Every structure is written in C-alpha cells, then in structure tokens.
Amino acid sequence: MAMAFSVRMLLFSSLFLLPISVFSQNNGRVAVGNSLTATTSNSSSWLSPSGDFAFGFLPLGGDDLFLLSIWYAKIQNQTVVWHAYEDNNPIVAPKGSTLNMNASSGLVLNDPHGMEIWKSETTFGVVANGVMNDTGNFVLQDKNSGSLWETFNNPTDTILPGQTIERNGKLSSRQSESNYTKGRFQLRLQDDGNLVLNTINLPTDFANEPYFATDTTAGTLEGKQLVFNNSGDMFVLRENGGTFILTSAGVSWVRDSYIRATLDFDGIFMLYSYPKNFIGIASWSPLWYQPNDICQALMEDTGVGVCGYNSVCKMNQDHRPTCECPRGFSFLDPKDLYRGCKPDFIQGCEADEVQSPRKDLYDVEMQTNTDWPTSDYMRLKPFTAEKCKESCFQDCLCAVAVFRSETCWKKKLPLSNGRVQFNLSSQTFIKVRKDNVTLQFPPMPIPPPMPIPDDKEKSKITVIRVGSALLGTSIFVNVAALCLGFFFIFRKKPVRSSTDIVLDSNLRSFSYEELQEATNGFTEELGKGAFGVVFKGAMQIGSGVEVAVKKLRYVMQDVEKEFKTELNVIGKTHHKNLVRLFGYCDEGQQKLLVYEFLSNGTLASFLFSDIKPSWKQRIEIAYGIAKGLLYLHEECSTQIIHCDIKPQNILLDDYYTPRISDFGLAKLLMMNQSQTHTAIRGTKGYVAPEWFRNLPITTKVDVYSFGVVLLEIICCRRNVDVEGNLEERAILTDWVYDCYVEGVLDAVVDHEVEALGDRATLEKFVMVGIWCIQEDPSLRPTMRRVVQMFEAVVEVHVPPCPSPYTRAG
C-alpha cells in the first residue's frame, strides 16, 4: 500500500518536471505569449502532435550555439528540413536567446541581451496561435485558422510531402553537410514554367545555364507548380492541368517511412526514405535522384565542377561524387574536399624562365580517361601522343595535355570541371614540378577565390589596392625608408662587381627604355608615396605578364653598388607568402623595381570591406603572414626586418594567399647580427614602442606589428577607430585585451557564428595576438614561436597585460 502511494506521488510530482512546451501545446498548437529558450533542455522545441517533427533550437555541435529550425524529432541524427534564414545566412542563436510568439509580429527571436536577431515576415492580420503540423510545416494562424505565415512558403533545401513550390520559388543547397549557409546550387521553378537545377555565382544570384531541366515551357504545357503530394508523387503541374512526372515514392513508402526530397550541397536533387519505428541503426536511403551523373552534368556554361578547380570528380556506388586531387596537387581545405585543389609547386612562365631546358623542370603523371573539358586553350590535329606530351613540356602555359583520336588538347590552370569518364579512351599528361624545385615549405590550406566586382568597379579597386600596397601612404613607409638609409650608412662589407651580383640571383636587369615602353611612358599611375611612384605595365617575361613598376626617388649619392647588393639579397628570397620581385633598372639616378602585379588587392581592402571574409579564410591568412615573416627573420641567407608590417603592405594572390610586399626596402641584417640602433620615430598603431624610446631595433618590431594585424584579422576592424561612437573601443588592442580579461570574446568577433563555433582557435589566436603586442620586446615570442603556437606544437599560456606602464600612467 505504501509502495503504491509512493508510486502515485512520484508520478504526480514528475508532472511538474515536464517542459513548459508540453502544457502550452494542444494538438500541436502554440498560444500567443509562449516562448522558447536556446538551451539543451526539452523546452527548446515545440513538437507536432505525433512527435515526428520539432520546431525550435537545435544545438550545433555544442552547448553554445543553436539553429532555429525544424527537424525529425524521432531520428537519431535529427535531420533538419527547414531553418530560419536572412540574407542567405542561417539564423544561429547564442545560448540564452529567446523566441517569442506575439500577436503583432508573429515569431520574434532575441539574443540574451534583448537585441532582435530575426522575426517572421507576417505582413497582415493578427496572430492567434502557431501550429506545428505533422507534415513538418509550422504555421502562424489568425483567429479564423487562416495562414499568415508558414515555413512551407519559405523553404530552404528540402521539400516535404504536402508541400508545393510556386513559380519563381526555389530550394537552395547548403555550402556543406554541416554548414547551413546558402550554397551554389539551386532548384527553381522559373517564371516560364521550366523546373531547373543550376549553379549560381555567389554571393550574387546570377544563374548559370541549367544542368537539369524539365523543359515544361510551351503554351498550356507550361509548369505552374512543383507538387510533392501526400501520396509521395512529385511532379510539375502544368497550366492545362496535366503533369510532368518526376518520381513516385508510392503510398506504402509514405505510410511506413519518412520521405523528403533535398537539394544536397553537392548539387544532387534526391528523394530519400527513412523507416519509421525502426529498432536499431538505420539511415536515409535514396529512392530517386537527378542528375544521374553530377560529374558529367556540370559543363562550361553550367558553372565550375562540383569538386572545384584543379580536381577530379568520380561517381561512387551510392550515386554521390567523390573528389580527388591529381599528383602534385593537394586539397585547398582537407576538411572540405569539394572546395578544389591547388598545385604544390610553382608553375608558370615566370618560374620556367629562370631554368632551361624546361623539360628538365618537370615530370609527367600519366592517367587515362581523365579530362578537364572546359580548360582547353589549344587543339592540335593530327598529332601523336608523344608530340602531345612534348608540346605541353615546351609550353609554359600548359599544365595538362589530353590525347585521343589523333588530337591533342592543351589545358592551363586553373583546371575546371575535371572528371573520370571511362569510355573516353584518352591519355592524360599532367606536368608535375620535380622535387628539387618544389616549394620549400609544407603547403597550407588556401581560401577559394572570392567574388569579383564588375569590370568597371574592379579596375578602380585594383588601382587603389595595388598602389597603396606597394607604396603605403602613411608614416610607416618613412620608417622603412629610414631603415634602408641607416643600413646603407652603417653597413660595412665588401661589395662585389655588378656582374657577380646579377649572376647570384634570378633578378633581371631592365633598361629604362624597356620599362618606359612597358608602362606606356609611365602613364597609368597606381599611386605614390615616400619611396616614389608605382605604375602599371605589361612585359614579356616568358609570356605576357602584368607588372607593377616602382620608380624610386633618388635618395643618396654613390649607392649604386649597395643598391645592387641589396637587390641580390631580395632576389634570393623565394617564398609563397612574399611578393615576387622580377627585376630592376639601375641607370644613373633612374632606379626602378619591377614587381609581380596582384589584382586581388590588399589585406586592408579584404578585411575592411562591406562583405566580411569567412573565419576560416582569416585564420589561414594570419598563418600565411606568420610563415612569411618567419622566413624573412630566420630562413633566408640574410636576415630581413620588414619594419612596416600592416594590412596595406600585404597583398592577396589569385587564391587569396597573403603575400608580404615591400620587404626588400626594409632593414637588412647579417645573420650574425641581432640588433641595431636607429633614431626612427613614428606614431602609434603598428609601430612597436621601442621606436619611440630609442631602444635597440630587432625582429621583435615586426612581431609587434604582426600582433596588431592579427587582432585586426580576428575582428575585421581597423586598429584605430576614430569614427566609432564608443570611446572604449577606439583602440583595438586595448579593447580586445579588456574583452579577453572579461571573458566576452563573442563581442570581439561581433557574435560571428563561424568564429564562435571554433572558440578554441579564437581564444588561441587572441592570446597569441596579445603576446605579440607586449610593450616589453623580451616578452614577445619570435615568429617561429608564433607559428608553433598556431600549429599547436607549443602551448599558448595566459598573456599578461600588454601595456602595464601605459595603463599605470
């Protein structure tokens, strides 16, 4: 008796432990005034009557970030079928955020501080309640049960039974399986009634030609709706009432299984089933898909291949593509194999020019039935396989040659739309640089190409970016100039003949007349600064190449031999994170430098533009800059202190790899020297405090500047913000340290979802930045130590206050 009473009391008391959402729901209904909180408890979702679907906050790989979404509640992997979005970005809420339902605005999502993150777009009527249906549709209803807003009318990448898509409606893929940001594939029912699959050129919505289409466009046969009915049939409903059948899952499948059709991140539109009430481990099974072979479907007019540039696409038995890199290439991002591949070697006309014969530079990788059909630039016919291979060897533009049917197709980088086609009957010759001239340093992941502005805008941006990068209009350029001047005065070492110097490096000596012709009489000015003026030009260096020609101001008398000696040092530097110097001109007072032209601009323009670069891109850029400085400080024959590290002096190449510029015009020290004294002065910002205190100048001045740049990369804002309204945020270095001490790094990255999802890296990079900006140079790490901390080879300890003396005052 006592036991029975205890059981009844236990059951009664457990009712008070049930989540609030259970009491607030009546057959899936949610009353106005109810709310959800982003936590890991059951109160973070509203369930449909059967419990099949949940609407609310789904944790994203941890307890701190939540996706506002709808998912299958009874499936272990909680497959998402809809998520809230705005401007192509998923709505991800930090822990403690609340979703409220009110009569005037419908659903309103606020962060823990009460700031609005998102709301449903209800344009008319008063909300009476919400309903989470067993179809997977969440509806906001008025008092007459009419629909004011529903998730079925705002689809993401999935369509469910009972759902339709009207003309101009679409599904958009994710960027990857775990990244809910809008991807580059979409399914659209066009205005002409044609249902298509196509790629878009992000971040715009510019649509490439379809790689699948129903061709339902003629007269009364035009498509009116894409219908996925409750019987599992998917078809295009025509204007005349007829149908264009896509597929049928069948009533039995719908009764016994969950059914969904999803445009996956790899561009395949697939119908899936998952058994209901299954005991054990199950998975989603494909019932139908389009296109049949995504590797073959994507061609030149339909956009770059599913695997990105320089890759090879193969179809697996599960009807999904797999991506591979040819020998000599590696993935841009080993964690995302669909972003493409990059060469692990330097290939091109400039690199080939310094060594002859060119054939000795390369090996050949032989493959069969592999092609990049959209990268051809020359076709030779009739030809033989041996001649095809030899022609590619002798052509500095040629990266790959494909031979079949007495025809040779020569292809250049980047290679696009690569695939294996077993009936091709071809021989493929891939040029791979030999080991003794490959990159000296392990490759690091490289960001994918970013969207390019239109031609008119691009030309303006390019001129501004490159000019400022090579010159630098701030006072810090004077710092570097004085470094060079003091070095010329105090350095005493034997000077060799000009001939010896030129032979020791790969630099080419140009005549003034050559450079005058290359720049069309120095007409297109990119910018001017303390060192001189930079002009855009074009030269035949192996093949036609754009260059930036810097015309130096004449500073001192009798520096010709020293000038060439310094150029010899620069000419021996070779690293993928340094801007390349092609050559020079030294004719009396005419002293000019010829650099490679990098049209993707400066790090400053990249960081401080309206479009915020991804977190992954930013940490890769920071790592690349660190590697470049490590090379200058420790790994080239003559130690180089840059003296002027800042975002304007870091350029980005075609793959957005950082390239340090103007390093040859800074202080140069012999390897047995560790410091020098100068009387240089400057203003605060990127300049280390020792410049102002007449202290010894070492490589630690570059470490300080790098620390400032690193914090700018993390925050995507300038070190000094004179236009901001908040005084405490005006100096970035001080504000970031305060945020670090107070444990509010969310504010440092402006609550950026990607960065907060990688909190360990965020904290590590902030700590490294604070170590680098210590006022005491002895406390700053070397660049080798910085790289080791980035690579987790050494532990990053808690940094002290970077400016104790300044703050104490």
What structural domains does the chain harbor? 17-154 (2.90.10.10), 155-291 (2.90.10.10), 305-437 (no CATH), 455-808 (1.10.510.10)
Cα atoms found within 13 Å of the Cα of residue 325, Cβ hemisphere only:
20
From the list 178, 447, 415, 417, the residue with the least C-alpha distance to 332 is 447
Query: Is 387 among the annotated ligand-binding positions?
Result: no
Predicted confidence at residue 579, as pLDDT, reads 85
What residues contact 809, with CB distance under 8 A and at least 6 apart?
none
Predicted confidence at residue 568, as pLDDT, reads 66
Cβ atoms of 664 and 685 within 8 Å: the answer is no
700-715 and 759-772 are packed helices; what angle lies between their axes, rounded to 10 degrees? 150
- Return the beta strands (E) in 104-241 as ranges: 106-110, 116-119, 129-132, 138-141, 147-150, 158-159, 163-166, 170-174, 182-189, 195-199, 212-213, 223-228, 233-238
- Return the beta strands (E) in 529-615 as ranges: 532-541, 543-552, 581-587, 590-596
Predicted confidence at residue 465, as pLDDT, reads 33
From the list 297, 271, 290, 267, the residue with the least C-alpha distance to 173 is 267
Q: Which helix (H) or strand (E) holds 312?
A: strand 312-315
Q: How far apart are CA 567 and CA 575, in angstroms?
A: 16
Three-state SS string over 179-191 comes to CCCEEEEEEEECC
Segment 238-245 long-range contacts (CB within 8 Å, at least 24 positions apart): 238/193, 239/193, 244/195, 244/214, 244/216
What does 704-733 look like in DSSP terms, one character per residue? Answer: HHHHHHHHHHHHTS-SB-SS-S-GGGSBHH
- The answer to whether the bond into 291 is cis (omega within 30° of 0) is yes
Those residues of the chain that have pLDDT short of 70 are 1-26, 41-43, 61-63, 123, 251, 279-280, 346-348, 350-360, 435-506, 527-532, 541-544, 553-566, 568-570, 637, 664-684, 694, 722-728, 804-809
Catalytic residue among 371, 644, 702, 746: 644
Q: How far apart are CA 368 and CA 310, in angstroms?
A: 16
Predicted confidence at residue 543, as pLDDT, reads 56
- Report the predicted TM-score, pTM, of the whole model to 2 decimal places: 0.55
Cβ atoms of 623 and 682 within 8 Å: the answer is no
Q: Is 644 a catalytic residue?
A: yes
Cβ atoms of 602 and 652 within 8 Å: the answer is yes
From the list 476, 483, 535, the residue with the least C-alpha distance to 709 is 476
Q: How far apart are CA 589 and CA 594, in angstroms?
A: 16
